[in-house]
Amino acid sequence: MEFRAPRNSGGRRVQAVRDVSLEVAPGEILGLVGETGSGKTTVGKCVVRLLQPTSGAIHFMGREITTMSARELRPIRSQIQMVFQDPYSSLDPRMTVSQVVAEPLRAHGRHSRQDAQTLVARTVERVGLSRQVLDRYPNELSGGQRQRVGLARALVLEPRLLIADEPVSALDVSVRAGILNLLVELQRTMGFSCLFITHDLSVAEFLCDRVAVMYLGEIVEVGTRDEVFGEALHPYSRSLLGAAPLADPVQQRTRERSIMPGEPPSAIEPPPGCSLNPRCPLADARCSAESPGSTAVSASGHLVRCHRIAEQQQLEVSRS
């Protein structure tokens, strides 16, 4: 996915996302983690077609939706819904809660007015709100209540895939646990798949079945929750885990830390070869000359994008 860079950059283009390949299984929560600017939100917006990808393909339930027209996408849009990061700007302040949650039903014309009102009330209760909020406006609600309204709006159509873009990052810590527990319960009872975008590793570890790690627009590691959080292999994944705070102060002091030096390079001028090579302690001449592909390191689908890991895997295979 490319964007035009600012004018002072000479009209060059930014590759916000490149060579990304992800699959979300039915009923699965896939976490997409990485620091700010890594391209996580761009991936989510491409999947839901809020952004038109400049290359590649998006498949949903066996159908390619990448180049579908707005008319062709209409029946599919009801099956792919999104919860946005900021509950304060994602709700129309001129609409009541009832109108906000009913808007997708009205747009898709699925229900009569009476049936829609009944479904809206039931969905609002399902996300932990009372029917008393139906006639209120967003400015009369707390941040946590607003995000529950946003969740109700996304789930009222009972989608097959939910894109959750940092849904708790703008909320107080005391409110986050309630929203996350609610999401787990709703996913279990409704059975939807979820692409959960976050920079908070503790949230991803709590919520997700599998985790994909992004760096500078690329997926550098994908694995199950236990593989990524217990056996991370990519240097960047290890660095992220090493920088994340731990609740136990003893573990915080004694754990091995692998903090990546320097800052991520500009997406306008990414480094040649592996995008991590200017910062990676394992980088060699090949890393600065050739971009690595993904290497399978387990039968479960644990993938790592690293020359050095690939070499290590080949060495272990030859020894065996």
pLDDT in tens, 46-80: 999 998 888 889 999 989 999 889 889 988 999 99
Instruction: Give residue 2's pLDDT.
Output: 58
Please give the pLDDT value at position 79.
94
Per-residue pLDDT, averaged over 290-318, amounts to 81
Residue 28 has pLDDT above 90, yes or no: yes
For the stretch 131-137, contacts whose Cβ atoms lie closer than 8 Å and that sit 24 or more positions apart, written own/partner, are 133/97, 134/96, 134/97, 134/98, 135/96, 135/97, 135/98, 136/96, 136/97, 137/93, 137/94, 137/95, 137/96, 137/97
If pLDDT is split at 50, 70 and 90, which confidence band does 100 have? very high
Helices (H) and strands (E) in the chain, counts: 11, 12
**Global pTM value:** 0.89
- Whether 6 shows a pLDDT value over 60: the answer reads no
Dist CA 139 CA 143 (whole Å):
9
Whether 251 has a pLDDT exceeding 70, the answer reads: no
Give the mean pLDDT of the chain: 86
pLDDT at 24: 95
At 226, list the tokens: 């236990």
Mean pLDDT score, 115-144: 93
Q: How far apart are CA 284 and CA 73, in angstroms?
A: 46
